[in-house]
Amino acid sequence: MKRVITYGTFDLLHYGHINLLKRSKAMGDYLIVALSTDEFNWNEKQKRCYFTYEERKSLLEAIRYVDLVIPEKDWEQKNSDVYEYHINTFVMGDDWKGDFDFLKDKCEVVYLPRTPEISTTKIKEELNNKVISKVVL
């Protein structure tokens, strides 16, 4: 069984996240998502999520590509996660390209092209600007 892991905040879940998870799962048989906790997001990424960790976790667990969700509590846990969960492949979007190459002696490291034109930040900005629909009839 080929085991894949990826990490992220996954707030305001959108099709860019889904594309990443779909491609990650296609690389193996079992996909683990290490989901950033609210504390990690605020303390380390200065992100204040719209959804809480538990809400974001329940959304991810409903996705067919995701087999297990674990908490991402700090930057240092990746080495131990790869060992403890017997990971074969580590996957991240290419906005992180090169940042996790230190894992290459433990598992395959893959950076996938981000899905263009969509991000949680963009969703928040557009809603702030009263863009209430992208649908053009």
Q: What are 4's strand-pairing partners?
A: 31, 89
Closer of 19 and 30 to ligand C2G (Cβ) = 19
Nearest to 84 by CA among 96, 97, 70: 70
Find the shortest distance in angstroms from Cβ 47 to ligand C2G: 7
Closer of 3 and 40 to ligand C2G (Cβ) = 40
Closer of 36 and 88 to ligand C2G (Cβ) = 36
Active site residue 134: no
With b meaning 16 or more CB within 10 Å and e meaning fewer, what string describes 52-65?
A: ebeebbebbeebeb
Active site residue 106: no
Is residue 87 within 8 A of residue 4, CB to CB? The reply is: yes
**Contact residues: ligand C2G, CB under 6 A:** 7-10, 16-17, 20, 36, 45, 72, 92-93, 95, 114-115, 118-119
